[in-house]
A = this chain, B = another copy of it.
Amino acid sequence: MALDPALAARLKRNADGLVCAVAQQRGTGEVLMVAWMNDEALELTLTTRRGTYFSRSRNKIWVKGETSGHTQQVHEVRLDCDGDTVLLIVDQAGAACHTGDRTCFDADVLLSPDPR
């Protein structure tokens, strides 16, 4: 099944044909991960409500959690103002990060809150 042409026309893909995708946990608002989608991944995400991305390293569609079981049930998808990024509101099963951390942003703090 192809992406709705009206939606496809609104996407501003990068040179690799991808849009950026931010996954956020429903309720808590945690930013879980950032990944990439081609048209097929977006279409699959919208129709199956399973977070589905395009793996740049493996050059293929990737259903989040298909091997780890750490799936994403997708509640909402929003497109940003310039059409190059989608925001997914999801229920993340287990860890979103391949390291086992809850989010991909848990481990490496570059700047902490200013104590002043």
**Chain A contact residues, CB within 8 Å of chain B:** 7, 10, 15, 20, 22, 24, 28-31, 33-34, 45-46, 49, 74-82, 85-87, 89, 97-99, 101, 104-114
Contact = CB atoms under 8 A, between A and B. Distances in A.
Nearest to A49: B114
Contact of A110 (B29, B78, B107): B78
Given A46-B110, A79-B108, A86-B110, 20 more contacts: A10-B108, A15-B15, A20-B34, A22-B34, A29-B30, A31-B31, A34-B34, A34-B80, A34-B85, A46-B111, A49-B111, A49-B114, A75-B113, A76-B113, A77-B109, A78-B110, A81-B104, A81-B107, A85-B104, A89-B113
